Structure 1
Amino acid sequence: MTSSSSAPSQAPGQEVRFASSGSSAYAVVLALFATIVVVSNVVATKPIEVGSGSLTLGPVQLWPLIIDGGAVLFPLAYVLGDVISEVYGFRAARRAVLTGFACALLAVLTFTVVARIPGASFYGNDEAFSTVLGPVAQIVLASVAGYVCGQLTNAWVLTRMKARTAERALVARLASSTGLGELVDTFLFCAIAASAIGITGTGGFLNYFVVGVLFKVAVELLVMPVTVLVIARLKAAEPTY
């Protein structure tokens, strides 16, 4: 589908276009997006400390760096969020965000129910199961708050910028929207999830938050050539674009 881009007064490259979200390609991207959200919520229960020793600046811990397991995969959710927003528009991005939320909610409800069901007599890992998946509820709450606000911020900024630049300045759109989205997402997530994985104190929290933002944005910038290529391929493949 297209917007008012069909007006004859607009020069080539100035049309603000989006593809229909009813395509099979959108379904594949949506499935990958939801999978990343669910898996990231589970592995985020493991804190990761990068480096040894200790370096602080006042109350702020500078070293070692503190991240969580979700940082390994979750930045790719913003890559796919950018792809969806750029190719299919804000409504399609909002649908993806809500679908990811529903999948994450289903996962945490399943974990909660299964954790409360006594294991078989020969199964001796009930405590380990609860230890690993017990904090997931709080992680999901943190993820939902950060993820929904961050992803919608990302999609809104990207599509608003596209309304002004059309097909031009794609890299600027991707970088700006991701930076703002990750800032909102990571702050809300860290504020709620920090205690669930044992991070306490102002210094540890600031390290967790700042490193999280920088790491996720760095991953986005690192894979941006791939993001741009995927966007170009999807635009070319979608007959409605």
Structure 2
Amino acid sequence: MTGGERVRAVEAATLAGRPLRALDFVMAAFVTILLLSNVLGAGKVATVDLPGVGAWPFGAGILFFPVSYVLGDVLTEVYGYARARRCIWAGFCALLFMAFMAWVVVALPPAASWTGQAAYEQVFGQVPRIVFASIIAFWAGEFVNSYVLARMKVWTRGRHLWTRTIGSTIVGQGVDSLIFYPLAFYGVWESGTLLIVLLTQWALKVGWEILLTPVTYAAVGWLKRREGVDVYDEETNFTPFRAEV
């Protein structure tokens, strides 16, 4: 048995022999940030003053949504594609339920004494087209992100983590943006505006990933030491349409 085979055997025994102590917490953080960035950030347009430019508008959700991609990178890097796949499906189902719950709550007739209906409709009464675009873009982008990272880990033999976290984000966020903005805003915005916003948001999300690279390194290193695993997806079935690990 070669050294690499012994490492894989230890990983398999570790994964099969005891529960992974931190996986549930990482998944909970992943789903929480995903939901909150959509609830609290997606509906607000904020501005930042840029020298020589003035007030520059941006979607507030961009401050936190890319963190879900960082956690997706951590899940795939440490626990492998199969466990990341389960977490992505958990996030997808949570988004669906959130959208359904928001629709039900907004649609319920308000009590005569309650004056918050207009505010609820403004915050939670999201346009179905945008909700659909957001959920589909998340699903596709996250799976592409996880697949690219897992494959690059095998190609690089586990070296140069930054190349695969940034590389997978470039591709995954690219897919996310290419799906979301046309689905949500084609025919609503001018084509030039749509393209500018798409490219700007993609660049900002990738920039966040680059800035957070030290945090990713710290989280990955800590989890690998704590869990005693470092999964390589050499024989993984990469279909997204299964729940088995």
The answer to whether the superposition gives a TM-score over 0.5 is yes
Q: Is 1:36 matched up with 2:33?
A: yes
Q: Is 1:200 matched up with 2:189?
A: yes
Unaligned runs of at least 5 residues, structure 2: 231-245
Q: 1:120 to 1:151 in 2, by over 3 A?
A: same
Cα deviation, residue 176, structure 1: 0.6
Cα deviation, residue 10, structure 1: 4.2
AA aligned to 1:93 is A
- Residue in structure 1 matched with residue 115 of structure 2 by the alignment: 124
**Paired-residue identity, %:** 33
- Residue in structure 1 matched with residue 43 of structure 2 by the alignment: 45
Cα deviation, residue 136, structure 1: 5.6
Unaligned runs of at least 5 residues, structure 1: 1-6, 56-62
Is 1:41–1:139's contact at 8 Å kept on the other side of the alignment? no
- Calculate the TM-score normalised by the size of structure 1: 0.83
1:76-129 Cα deviation digits (max 9, x unpaired): 001000000100111111111110011111111111111111112221121221
Q: Is 1:23 matched up with 2:33?
A: no
- Residue in structure 2 matched with residue 160 of structure 1 by the alignment: 151
1:138-195 Cα deviation digits (max 9, x unpaired): 3331221111111111110111111122221211111111111111112212222337
- Residue in structure 1 matched with residue 203 of structure 2 by the alignment: 214
- Residue in structure 1 matched with residue 236 of structure 2 by the alignment: none
Using the alignment, how far apart are the partners of 1:238 and 1:37 within structure 2? 24
AA aligned to 1:28 is F
Figure out how many residues of one structure are paired with residues of the other and give that number. Answer: 226
RMSD: 3.0
Using the alignment, how far apart are the partners of 2:142 and 2:172 within structure 1? 6
AA aligned to 2:214 is P
- Residue in structure 1 matched with residue 181 of structure 2 by the alignment: 190
- Residue in structure 2 matched with residue 228 of structure 1 by the alignment: 217
Using the alignment, how far apart are the partners of 1:129 and 1:171 within structure 2? 42
Q: Give every structure 1 segment of 4 or more consecutive aligned residues whose post-TM-superposition deviation is greater than 4 Å.
A: 9-19, 49-52, 63-66
Cα deviation, residue 13, structure 1: 9.2
- Calculate the TM-score normalised by the size of structure 2: 0.81
- Residue in structure 1 matched with residue 237 of structure 2 by the alignment: none
Q: 1:65 to 1:184 in 2, by over 3 A?
A: farther
Q: How does 1:78-157 map to 2 (within 5 A)?
A: 78-135=69-126, 137-157=128-148
